[in-house]
Amino acid sequence: MSEKYFVDGLLRGRVALVTGGGTGITGGVARALAESGARVCLVSRRMEHLEPAAERIRAGGGEALAVAADVRNMEEVERAVAACVEKFGKLDIVVNGAAGNFLCPAEELSPNGFGTVVDIDLKGTFNVSRAAFAELKKNRGQILNISATLHYGGTPLQLHVSAAKAGVDALTRNLAVEWGRYGIRVNGIAPGPIEDTEGMKRLVPPDVKDRLKKHIPLRRFGLIRDIEQAAVFLCSDAASFINGAMLVVDGGHWLATSRFTNA
Ligand code: COA
């Protein structure tokens, strides 16, 4: 985070495990949690994404551990949680950010294509939450799920992701109710169009981008730092009574996607 909006050391003493923490939005979230004083364990499939991210955190004075694991594989997930606890002694915060995406019309989407994205986004979120439960219970910890706004309407070419993220929202609310009794808070962030991401570069053509911007009431795209700030807030004690919330960070975009007006 470039600007400082929070007091120093807001998350000092906390340990966070961040899936998808090597790149993109969750890479930024991992770095922001570390800048706020948390020690972080970065988890994703590819070590070549993780090590440079962990190195950047260390270079900034933070503590980071990189662990390669596929969130679809429960054994690998359990090993990653164990490695985090072994290194840092505990686990307080889980950020479920690992996600897969591609654009595909529903009539061309294969069952395996649909299932792959549901496996990564939804089942991966369950796997990591489930594997971390005992540690989170011990520490009255919390979970932050990175969702989306795609499924608030019907988003063409994004059936698989929309279905998976709708499941993530359900899981967020359900776990908030079931695990609240242990002091575990479960919340989510639903980012709108975020400009400085791989997804935006790869998935949204320039002409669509121009049109899209006009539909955002704040007339700008989000930036990874907008999500970082929301994440730091939700992970901090400032949000200690917030449980089961999905914080939409989209400049008002999804609300403005009206069937009756064009803005
Ligand atoms: N269009 C249509 N189907 C696609 C696709 C595309 N662009 N990309 C993958 N699929 C389908 C594959 O065809 C396959 O289905 P099939 O067996 O019926 O052919 C299925 O999805 C699994 O693909 P595979 O490449 O074997 O899976 P994977 O586990 O290696 O990777 C993703 C899956 C989704 C993660 C992959 O698309 C990817 O690596 N994306 C880039 C990273 C990313 O999405 N980051 C998030 C940015 S928001």
In whole angstroms, give the CA distance from residue 88 to residue 227.
25
Kindly state the tokens that stand for 231.
């994440």
**95 CA distance to ligand 1 centroid (A)?**
22
174 ligand 1 Cβ < 6 A? no
Alpha-carbon separation of residue 7 from 1, 4, 11, 41 (angstroms):
13, 8, 10, 22
Inform me whether the pLDDT recorded for 1 exceeds 80: no
In whole angstroms, give the CA distance from residue 83 to residue 65.
9
Q: Per the structure, how many domains does the chain have? A: 1
Residue 121 exposure: Cα atoms within 13 Å on the Cβ side: 25
124 domain-assigned = yes
What CATH number should be reported for the domain holding residue 50? 3.40.50.720
**20 CA distance to ligand 1 centroid (A)?**
16
Write the pLDDT tens digit of every residue in 133-187: 999 999 999 999 999 999 999 999 999 999 999 999 999 999 999 999 999 999 9
pLDDT class of 259 with cuts at 50, 70, 90: low
In whole angstroms, give the CA distance from residue 95 to residue 145.
6
Mean of the pLDDT values across residues 1-14? 88
261 ligand 1 Cβ < 6 A? no
Domain of 180, in residue numbers:
15-257
* Helix or strand (DSSP H, E) at 118: helix 111-118
Residue matched to tokens 């949680």: 81
212 ligand 1 Cβ < 6 A? no
Alpha-helical segments (H) within the chain: 24-35, 47-59, 74-88, 111-118, 124-139, 159-179, 198-203, 206-214, 224-235, 253-256
8 domain-assigned = no
10 domain-assigned = no
* Ligand 1 pocket: which of 26, 45, 103, 116 to mutate (most atoms within 8 A of CB): 116
Predicted pLDDT of residue 261: 59
Report which protein residue has its CA nearest ligand 1's atom 20: 113
199 ligand 1 Cβ < 6 A? yes
Write the pLDDT tens digit of every residue in 123-136: 999 999 999 999 99
Predicted pLDDT of residue 2: 59
